[in-house]
Amino acid sequence: MKTAPRRAQRRRILLAMLAGSVLLSLFAAGCGGSSIGSGSAASTSSSSGSSTAPIAAVAAENEYANVLEQIGGKYVKVTAIESNPNTDPHTYEASPSTARAVAAAKMLIENGVGYDTFMGKIESAGGAGSDSSRKVINVQKLLGLQESTPNPHLWYKPTTMPLVAKAIVSDLSSLQPTHAAYFQANDAAFEASLQPWLKALEEFGKRYPGTTVATTEPVADYTLEAAGIKNLTPFSMQADIMNGTDPAPQNVSLQNGLFSGHKVKIFVHNQQVTDSLTESFVNASKRAGIPVVGVYETMPTPGYDYQSWMLAEVKALEKAVSEHASTEKL
């Protein structure tokens, strides 16, 4: 739980500390592999052309790691750096073991848009650019987005992961050409598995047209938009909360008015990052009888893959708006 909403300042401090710890770690360990979390890159071969050893890969966020695992299957060994849904991803502090895993990886995936800037720090400190065979997927660049893109939660956009999956197929096939058909088949299966989520988004818009919501941060905004949901919370306040700054008093008053005036049917709350202000919004929503739907920035584990997580988010929205409709009829 975040008790001091000053993420930007804390992040700068952590990144400064990280640069030194990465260099020290790599010097001491000789850039050797190390296990972090459940996905270790330590046992993988450094030969990109090997058809037997799995490809060592690192993803900054576990939702990207999960898709990489689905496409690469038995031919990849994936480490997810940010994988704890109970912590604030914006203030992630990379460890020396993370630096070693990145240094050993033949493939990296990062979100970009300023969300996981620690990746660039690690890559620079570890000399990632010296490995010409290393594959790096920066999702921001893949989508052709500017660094100033206001909402960095790109994995909630329905069009993002199909493009990421295609890029993964291309890079894995370059690293292990003999398994290209295997990667392509897994991509086809992944694309098919997204259909229930995409269909649920379409059906929500048809079944509940004109649904209005309030939010704390823009975590699920791309999905809300895809479902035809109108977010009445000013984006300036969403951005303030996301960046750890105090929202304008008039925006706070407007938000509370959305609850007391029953102008929204759902309150979408980033339950991964909370403080006294966001908790006050949760309480105001509950007092007004407006259902609260919690969303995450990091994929909850275990029990989910990317597509089932996204589908579960839409189902939670459906349940909430249905409950609200039933309450209004009483």
153 and 212 assigned to the same domain: no
Last residue of a domain, one of 193, 215, 243: 193
Q: What is the pLDDT of residue 29?
A: 33
User: Number of folded domains in the chain?
Assistant: 2
Give the position of tokens 């398994």.
179
Residue type, 309: W
> Is 102 exposed, middle or buried, given 0-12, 13-18 or 19+ CB atoms closer than 10 A?
buried
Local structure of residue 229 (DSSP, 8 states): P
Any domain includes 279: yes
17 and 149 assigned to the same domain: yes
- What is the percent of the chain with per-residue pLDDT over 90, rounded to a whole number? 68
Local structure of residue 252 (DSSP, 8 states): H
Phi and psi dihedrals of 100, rounded to 5?
-65, -40
Describe the strand order of the beta sheet including 76-82 as a list of residue ranges: 76-82, 55-61, 107-110, 135-138
- Distance, CA of 311 to chain centre: 15
Q: What is the pLDDT of residue 329?
A: 53
Which range (91-100, 124-133, 173-182) has the least confidence?
124-133
CATH code for position 257: 3.40.50.1980
| Helices marked H in the chain | 7-29, 62-72, 96-104, 118-125, 139-142, 160-175, 180-193, 195-207, 221-226, 235-243, 249-260, 276-287, 306-329
221 and 175 assigned to the same domain: no
Any domain includes 199: no
Q: Which residue has the higher pLDDT, 92 or 59?
A: 59
Last residue of a domain, one of 193, 216, 247: 193
Confidence of residue 261 (pLDDT cuts 50, 70, 90): very high
242 and 300 assigned to the same domain: yes
100 and 122 assigned to the same domain: yes
248 and 145 assigned to the same domain: no
Distance between CA atoms of 210 and 146, rounded to whole angstroms?
A: 30
Any domain includes 294: yes
Q: What confidence tens digit (pLDDT) does each residue in 37-68 have?
A: 333 333 333 334 445 799 999 999 999 999 99
65 and 123 assigned to the same domain: yes
26 and 121 assigned to the same domain: yes
Any domain includes 1: no
Confidence of residue 96 (pLDDT cuts 50, 70, 90): confident
DSSP H or E run through 61: strand 55-61
161 and 185 assigned to the same domain: yes
Q: What confidence tens digit (pLDDT) does each residue in 264-314 have?
A: 999 999 988 889 999 999 999 999 999 999 999 999 988 999 999 999 999
Largest CA distance in the chain: 68
Distance between CA atoms of 81 and 38, rounded to whole angstroms?
A: 10
Give SS3 for 38: coil
Residue type, 112: G
Range of the domain at 142: 7-193
Q: What confidence tens digit (pLDDT) does each residue in 199-217 have?
A: 999 999 999 999 999 999 9
pTM of the predicted model over 0.75: yes
Any domain includes 260: yes
Any domain includes 214: yes
Any domain includes 66: yes
189 and 217 assigned to the same domain: no
Q: Produce one character per residue of 198-211: b if its CB has 16 or more CB atoms within 10 Å, e if not.
A: bebbeebeeebeeb
Contact yes or no for 145/114 (Cβ under 8 A): no
Any domain includes 202: no
Residue type, 60: A
Which range (8-17, 23-32, 167-176) has the least confidence?
23-32
113 and 240 assigned to the same domain: no
N-terminal to C-terminal alpha carbon distance within the chain: 36
Residue type, 18: L
Taking each helix axis from N to C terminus, what angle separates 306-329 and 62-72, rounded to the nearest 10 degrees? Answer: 130
166 and 249 assigned to the same domain: no
Last residue of a domain, one of 128, 160, 193: 193
Give the position of tokens 């809300």.
224
